[in-house]
Amino acid sequence: MAAYGSDTTTEEVLRGHDLTGRHFMITGASSGLGEESSRALAQAGATVTMMARNPQKLENAIERIRSANPSAQLNAGIADLSDQKSIRNYAEGFLSTGSTVDVLINNAGVMVCPFSKTVDGIEMQFGTNHIGHFLLTNLLMPAILAGDNPRVINLSSAGHTHSDVNLNDPNFDESKYNAWESYGRSKSANIHFTQEIVRRYGDHIQSFAVHPGVILTDLGRHLTPELMNEMTERVKSRSTSSSEAKESGALPFKSIQAGAATQVWAAITNDLKDKNGAYLGDCQVGIEGGNPSESGYLPYIFNTETAKALWSLSENLVNQRFSGTD
């Protein structure tokens, strides 16, 4: 396995790779990590379907990439992950083309937003970050399984340490809303979802959950001084944080190129064949109990019964059943 780390960039991960003929689909591709992943993969020869909810922002991102790489093979896909009808409309249209998806990167997300619900009545962070991707992935599964060496990459976060999923009160109907707890629930859900994909589809598909690191992107637009302070105090209290982090509460920031590197690595490497379902950070396999700001994770994210129960809850929330190959 290549000696990658926290500063590894997408360019380094893709060096020597020719992705001509492979099709990647990336949600949240109109800015940040999604745009960088699209740019890097297209530079390596891949065809990339860039997905976002805002057509103009997506077109602007496509133009930015093409200005540097006029031959980039890019497609636009419009879907709002907080709107199940929008997701269904997109998936139906895509499947009707008969195209396949070699790699789906579920990159989009919202973070610590004020309490609100999706148009389908689901708490916004859980509804967008998990349920939207759960529905999109399962609807597109025929195209994914028909792909070459198919993979599903789910962008999670060290934020999973804020909370495991809450299967009894997913919408905060009975408990007081906390933005970080909600974010943690959704990021833990991304990992449980990864695990259940692997359990249901086995050798037919690879799936990985990814912690990108801390990057200054539009994802942090809802961060208030109060929320930043809450995060700082949490970092200070982590027994696995570095001595510097315990003292200051500071997190190691990455460039966008380094932040996107782990999900790109997960999407193209052959070094993870025996690590299907792994949690990844800093272009490395995660470490149970390690520093969450790097590649560490809490053990509750690998609970098989929780993953099964979350799948059932998710099916109920989208009012549709999805099976697998088992």
pLDDT, one tens digit for every residue, the chain (326 residues): 568 999 999 999 999 999 999 999 999 999 999 999 999 999 999 999 999 999 999 999 999 999 999 999 999 999 999 999 999 999 999 999 999 999 999 999 999 899 999 999 999 999 999 999 999 999 999 999 999 999 999 999 999 999 999 999 999 999 999 999 999 999 999 999 999 999 999 889 999 999 998 776 555 555 566 755 666 666 556 555 555 555 544 466 799 999 999 999 999 999 999 999 999 999 999 999 988 888 999 999 999 999 999 999 999 999 999 987 65
Half-sphere exposure of 180 (CA within 13 A, CB side): 16
Burial of residue 177 (number of CB atoms within 10 Å: 0-12, 13-18, 19+): middle
Question: What is the CATH class of 10-220+253-314?
Answer: alpha beta
Q: How many CB atoms lie within 10 A of CB 115?
A: 14
DSSP structure class, residue 149: S
Q: Report the chain's terminal Cα–Cα distance, integer Å.
A: 31
Mark out the alpha helices in 280-326 (DSSP H runs).
Answer: 304-318
How far is residue 2's CA from residue 283's CA, in Å, rounded to a whole number? 9
Which amino acids are annotated catalytic? Answer: 156, 183, 187
Question: 90, 108 in Cβ contact below 8 A?
Answer: no
